[in-house]
Structure 1
Amino acid sequence: MHYVESGTGTPLVLLHAFPVDARMWEGVRTELEDRFRVLAPDQRGMGQSPPHESAVSESPSEGSPWPAEREPSPDAAAEDVLALLDELRLPSAYVAGCSMGGYVAMALARRAPERIEGLILADTKAEADSAEQRDNRLRVADRAEREGTAGWLAGDTLPGLLGRTTRHRRENVVERARTLVEQQPSAGVAWAQRAMAARPDSSGTLRAYEGPALVVVGDEDALSPPESARGTAALLPRGELVTLPEAGHLSPLETPRAFADAVRGWLDGSG
């Protein structure tokens, strides 16, 4: 598993959204590296991480056991993250996930809650896909494998991923997001869509999670809107909600400083 690491202090794992990679966290990572040892992995098949083969980190350890090929699911992606923590000999970490990364973070909370110091869920939701949403994901996966993703994936996804303020006033963010989408391997796009289609409802997982938790949502997020985020925060026994102005579904990419400030404020308040 490829990852970027910076900073010192308490470990913080940043799990990216679909269909981008760990580079979406660059602005947040640089804002938080004075307080955290930040780890931003490319999830299975995205960025520089392979979709099936044994994962390889920036600093691989000989003999490190990494999960082999698995059926696509957030739980398989969560196993990759646990393997990364094991390789780095980290018993626990704060975990932040945006959108698809939130599904993986919830899978981690389901499989190994004792490894999570605190949970940050950004622009994501606990419920599983509807049948219609699931079918659409599988169609996208099939098309990505059949045609590749050039010429259609960025155009199909960016209008929903980015808030109206970003689309109208942050041309550099729009172009950055477009570049990230267009650079994703089609096999990884297909794997991720099938993984998201297979995810279970995580409401019970969040109700059972007893650690501190922060839910962050962009006020212009059309895919996981603020009212949905309020419901997610309500599931968490120690959940708090922060709404970021002028941000959409990729709030950490669109407004990184505001996102980092929300995390710092939450830590100061919960500590």
Structure 2
Amino acid sequence: MTLALHRHGPDGVPLVLLHGFPLDARMWDDVVAELPGLPVVTVDAPGFGASPRPDDVARAVGRSAEPALETYADAVAAALHEAGVDRAVVAGLSMGGYAVLALAERHRGLLAGVGLLDTKATADDDAARANRLTVAAAAESAGAAAVAPMLTQVLGATTQAERPEVVERMRSWLAAAPPVGIAWAQRAMAARPDRLFTLEDLAVPALVLRGAEDGSAPQEAASTMSAALTDAEVVVVPRAGHMSAVEAPGPVAAALRGLYERCAQGSVG
């Protein structure tokens, strides 16, 4: 097994959803519930959920053990191919969006459409890169405690003030985050290059979405990506932060359904 896939709904060209850091495919559960009748596949990243350890994933796709989003992208493509999927609408949130960009660079033929949610196409600056490496090292010594401070960073102010059940769910997910996955993913994200160029000739329908209260992926990042794309819909979800799919699953699901339907009109298969 390269990566764990979770199928929902009927057969057909799927909407593939890639989760944010440091969660797993459960992040999408409320969104999937809002997409009845759509073929959806959620994926666990290397070292998260039911997927193998990152070293095993790298070995399975013939890459070195060095943490890299390219490994993640190759593994997504391989897992889908193993499942009989050679064409899909692929959307990712945050880290999942970085993987979508790597897919656009390395496995463009797979993509019938793309969704870039609460993410950005640029590389980290020096400070962000250094922080990721610090968190990676902390995860190896202190476990999931290394990501506990993310709680107030990934949830919008409205969610923190008005949605205690979402806050507690996120707190529990962060506390259960796997140290091996945390360390690998942080190092992989720290090493990622600028991939804005991959969008400039990506001739498929696209969705660029962000929570209005997302301080990690600002509007400037969304605008830069949408300007590079040839067929992009831009959606800003009010009263949501960086984890828009967890904080506002209804509006996010509606936007993803809209993306899928646009792809279907252009012969999604």
Same fold (TM over 0.5): yes
Aligned counterpart, 1:30:
33
Question: Are the counterparts in 1 of residues 205 and 259 from structure 2 also a CA contact under 8 Å?
Answer: no
Task: Report the Cα distance in structure 2 between the residues aligned to 1:67 and 1:38, rounded to whole angstroms.
Answer: 27
Q: Is 2:151 aligned against 1:158?
A: yes
1:175 corresponds in structure 2 to 168
Give the superposition deviation at 1:195: 0.4
* Partner AA of 1:243 in structure 2: V
Cα deviation per residue 1:63-113 (whole Å; 9 max; x = unaligned)?
A: xx6556531111110011011111111111010100000000100000011
* Pick aligned residue for 1:239 from 228, 232, 236: 232
Greater mean deviation of Cα atoms: 242-251 or 65-74 = 65-74
Residue identity opposite 1:7 in structure 2: G
Output the CA distance in 1 between the equivalents of 2:54 and 2:215: 32
Distance 2:216 2:67 in 1: 22
Structure 1 residues 84 and 180 mapped into 2: Cα distance closer, same or farther (>3 Å)? same
Which residue is 1:62 aligned to? none
Aligned with 1:75 (options 64, 70, 73): 70
Residue of structure 2 equivalent to 1:16? 19
Is the contact between residue 89 and residue 260 of structure 2 (CA under 8 Å) also seen in structure 1?
A: no
TM-score normalised per structure 2:
0.91
| Equivalence for 1:60 | none
Q: Which runs of 5+ in 2 are unaligned?
A: none
Match of 1:61 in 2: none
Whether 1:185 aligns to 2:178 is: yes
Equivalent in 192, 196, 207 of residue 199 of structure 1: 192
- Aligned residue pair count: 259
Change (3 A) 1:268 1:83: closer
Matched position secondary structure for 2:207: strand
The within-5 A match list for 1:1-271 is 1-8=3-10, 9-35=12-38, 37-54=39-56, 66-67=61-62, 70-150=65-145, 152-154=146-148, 156-268=149-261, 271=265
RMSD: 1.6
Question: What SS does the aligned partner of 1:32 have?
Answer: coil
Q: Contact 2:63–2:71 (CA<8 Å) still a contact in 1? A: no
Report Cα offsets for 1:113-136 as digits up to 9, x if no partner.
110010000000000000111111
Q: Once the 2 structures are TM-superposed, how far is the Cα of residue 268 of structure 1 from its aligned partner?
A: 4.1
| Per-residue deviation, 1:269 | 5.1
Give the drift of 1:4: 1.7
Q: Provide structure 1 residue ranges, at least 5 long, that are not aligned to the other structure.
A: 56-64
* Cα distance in 1 for residues equivalent to 2:75 and 2:259: 27
Counterpart code for 1:196: M
Distance 1:185-1:69 versus aligned 2 partners, 3 A rule: farther
Contact 1:31 1:260 in 2 (8 A): yes
- Secondary structure in 1 matching 2:144: coil
Distance 1:95 1:269 in 2: 13
